[in-house]
Amino acid sequence: MSFITLNNLSKTYHTEAGEVRALKPTGLEIAEGSFLGIVGPSGSGKSTLLTLLGGLAKPSAGSLLIDGIDVYRMNEEKRADFRREYIGFVFQAYNLIPYLTAEENVMLPLAVTSMSSRKQRQAALTALQRVGLANRVGHLPNQLSGGEQERVAIARALVNNPPMILADEPTGSLDSSTSAEIMDLFQELNHEGQTILMVTHNVENRKYFDRVVSLRDGCVDVDEPKPTVKVAATG
């Protein structure tokens, strides 16, 4: 059974200029432990797909099952809990909170849990050690390099041990050697069993994925799956 199932998931935005069908009805099954790359030109629906996979915006139609849970049948608050438990986000441009140190940024998903501050700190340190930043815990984001900020963002995505990580252009702002380091880190995590879904423009990153879904005009254009993964693009 697949870990993530999209059943005719679609998203239409209503603007003053009219309807924009950002994602046409799409079916997709993704196995646990996948390292899936989502690629495509601007406006192809990549970000919309990632937003829907992250439980951040309601689809216009269709359903999304993650670990057997129908994500969009939950109310907004339950979905917030779900995101905290199930999804680690690595945003474009890091999206660290500027007034919090690296350690505090990593602790952020735990701040609204019942975990004690001491345990939060331990978990944050473990995550920062995992990404090789144990010596930068007290630094503010503006005191860190781009690569270091990206690592802090990855540590934040890992801190509560979520079953899946969604990454949006994580190497978009990095030079090629730092990009390679970050992609190596993602690959290591994937080899440890972490499911990772990543949107990227960078063709260099394709080699890290074990499956690539290419979108065009809101539809799955090309899918290069592993033999065990079934794809059904209906859009």
Site of interaction with another protein (CB under 8 A): 47, 50-51, 54, 56-57, 76-77, 80-85, 89, 91-93, 95, 97-100, 104, 107-112, 117, 120, 156, 168
CB of 226 to another protein, least distance (A): 26
* 27 touches 8 (CB < 8 A): yes
Burial class (CB in 10 A: 0-12, 13-18, 19+), 210: middle
Nearer to another protein, 20 or 112 (CB): 112
Nearer to another protein, 109 or 147 (CB): 109
Q: At which residue do the structure tokens 């979108």 appear?
A: 215
C-alpha span between 23 and 30 (Å, rounded): 18
CB of 227 to another protein, least distance (A): 31
Nearer to another protein, 57 or 61 (CB): 57
E strand or H helix at 199, and its extent?
Answer: strand 195-199
Nearer to another protein, 54 or 225 (CB): 54
Q: Is 68 left (phi over 0), alpha (psi -120 to 50) or beta?
A: left
CB of 148 to another protein, least distance (A): 18
Nearer to another protein, 119 or 207 (CB): 119
The tokens describing 78, both together, are: 């339950």
Q: Which amino acid is at 74?
A: M
The tokens describing 38, both together, are: 């989502």
CB of 110 to another protein, least distance (A): 7
Q: Under DSSP, is residue 25 helix (H, G, I), strand (E, B) or coil?
A: strand
